[in-house]
Structure 1
Amino acid sequence: MKSLANHLEPIDWRKFSTTDTNYKIIGVDEVGRGCLAGPVYAAAVSFNSDILSDLVTDSKLLSEKRREELAKEIIQHHQVGLGFATVEEIDEINILQASLLAMKRAVEKLGATSGHLLIDGNKKIPNMPAKYQQTTIVKGDLRVSLISAASIVAKVTRDQLMKDLASQYPQYGFEAHKGYSTVTHKNSIATHGPCIAHRKTFSGVKEHLSL
């Protein structure tokens, strides 16, 4: 049986370009949306060349070592903006709105004067300035190299944060599951109760707030 990737048509990010040299084509993606702990992170990437176009793909399909190698290359040679929404913001405005907020912050950090945002998924980023056009692309992290690059940088950045949190809260095993809803993680919450890094409104966490 062929993988889903073989059934998806790649999209060349360059077709969204214009003759304006100041107009950036920007890939945007987020990571950590389905986690029980930690912030949601987003990255915005604009290529300075197409040298990485054939090397990147959805971050989830790469080994941790390869993600880290590619993230280093992307950050060193291309334009990158990173943004996040905190656990408190996730609990206050819900995970969808927090993910979109993280994306908006990532684009703002990139600092482009104008551009076309290629966004993974089917939701446009609300309240973006008119200088940005937006196109949503379902499975964009598999189909558009710019979005793939954004997914890689966002995941490597967030994974490192979760490894750092593991040293503060070793009982949860953040270094292994990065905050996702694994059996081990849910069992550790049930045993020890949530910590400050947990999303208090999420199922799997909220049931144990009294511990």
Structure 2
Amino acid sequence: MSFRLGLTGSIGMGKSTTAALFAEQGCAVWDADAAVHKLYGPGGAAVAPIGALWPEAISGGAVARPALKEIIAQDAGALPRIEAIVHPLVAQDRADFGRQSVAEITVFDIPLLYETGGTAQMDAVVCVFVAPEVQRARVLARGTMTEAQFAQILANQMPIAEKRRRADYEIETDTLSHARAQVQEVLRDIKVRLADA
């Protein structure tokens, strides 16, 4: 059975880049955001149940994320209802991927790993981090959200200091070469653990 490594962090911390570095080293990688994208896409399993509650959130047979963001902004009760639909579907997708993986180490890229209790299914957790000012600059440079939206996302996530405290491993994503070296070190350590098991 594949070793299950949870990969987490906060928005703009370099999770996607770090996931790619793990893939570069031969790990299988499951991406929670990509799974949600698939569920929201045409024919995705989340389209019908979300459409039943908010028909205005559906466009062209898919969930329109801007419309969903608008609904969440206007209705404080919307997010928990959306999560009640999406989280079980994402969990099923993750479980299916894990069962089918033949890699020695499978990485699960999950932004809300701690918040959703996903650590129970992991053999170890790695948390990526970067200085708060670098995080803020990265997120705002994308041009996809306002300062207020960024603050709202941070408010909904566990503080990065707490994620780092709970994690088995940490990777600082200040530079690509530094992150790659730390990924290699994490994998070396896991392989030693597996050899000793």
Please identify which structure carries the higher helix content. Answer: 2
TM above 0.5:
no
Q: Which has the higher contact order (CA 8 A, sep 6+)?
A: 2
TM-score normalised according to structure 1 size: 0.28
